[in-house]
Structure 1
Amino acid sequence: MTGWFSKKALDPTLTLITEPFVHPYMSANIWHLKGREVDLLVDTGMGICPLAPEIDTPSGKPLLVVATHIHLDHVGSLHEFAERAGPRQSAAEFARMGDAATYAEEFRGLEGAVSRLPYPGWCREAYRIEPAPLTRILAEGDIVDLGDRRFTVLHLPGHSPDSIALFDERDGLFFSGDAIYDDVLLDNLPDSDPDIYRHTMQRLLELPVSVGHGGHGPSFDRDRMQEIARGYLGIG
Structure 2
Amino acid sequence: MKATWFTVEEVDNKTFAISEYNHWEKVHSYLILGNKIACLIDTGLGIGNIKQITDSLTDLPVKVITTHVHWDHIGGHSLFDNISVHENDVEWMRNGIPVPIDNIKINLVKGVRKELLPENFNINDYDIFKGEPRHILNDGEKINLGNRELLVLHTPGHSPGHICLYEKERGYLYTGDLLYKGTLYAFYPSTNPNDYYKSIIKISKLDYVDKILPGHNDIVVNKKLIIEIRQAFEELKEKDLLKHGSGLHEYSSFKIKL
**2:199 equivalent in structure 1:** 200
Change (3 A) 1:121 1:10: closer
Q: Which digits, 9 at most, give the CA deviation of each residue in 1:165-220, with x for residues without a partner?
A: 11123342211111222221111122111121111122222123221101112243
**2:239 equivalent in structure 1:** none
The 1-side partners of 2:138 and 2:225 are apart by: 27
**1:211 equivalent in structure 2:** 211
Q: How does 1:97-136 map to 2 (within 5 A)?
A: 98-100=96-98, 104-110=101-107, 112-116=110-114, 118-119=117-118, 124=123, 127-136=126-135
**Counterpart amino acid of 2:68?**
H
Q: What root-mean-square deviation, in Å, do the aligned CA atoms of Structure 1 and Structure 2 show? A: 2.4
Q: Aligned residue pairs: how many?
A: 230
**Counterpart amino acid of 2:229?**
I
Q: Which digits, 9 at most, give the CA deviation of each residue in 1:70-117, with x for residues without a partner?
A: 001110101111211111112233233x240x6754322337252335
Q: How does 1:63-102 map to 2 (within 5 A)?
A: 63-96=62-95, 98-100=96-98
3-state SS in 1 of match to 2:27: coil
Change (3 A) 1:139 1:188: same
1:13 aligns with 2:11: no
3-state SS in 2 of match to 1:185: strand
Q: Unpaired runs of 5+ in structure 2?
A: 237-250, 252-258
**Counterpart amino acid of 1:223?**
K
**Counterpart amino acid of 2:105?**
R
**Structure 1-normalised TM-score?**
0.86
Change (3 A) 1:121 1:226: same
Change (3 A) 1:230 1:99: same
The farther-off stretch of 219-228 and 65-74 is 219-228
1:223 offset after TM fit, Å? 1.9
Q: How does 1:20-39 map to 2 (within 5 A)?
A: 20-22=21-23, 24-25=24-25, 27-39=26-38
Q: CA contact under 8 A between 2:4 and 2:118: conserved in structure 1?
A: no
1:122 offset after TM fit, Å? 5.2
**Counterpart amino acid of 1:216?**
H
Q: CA contact under 8 A between 1:71 and 1:103: conserved in structure 2?
A: no
Q: CA contact under 8 A between 2:176 and 2:214: conserved in structure 1?
A: yes
| Overall identity of the aligned pairs, in % | 24
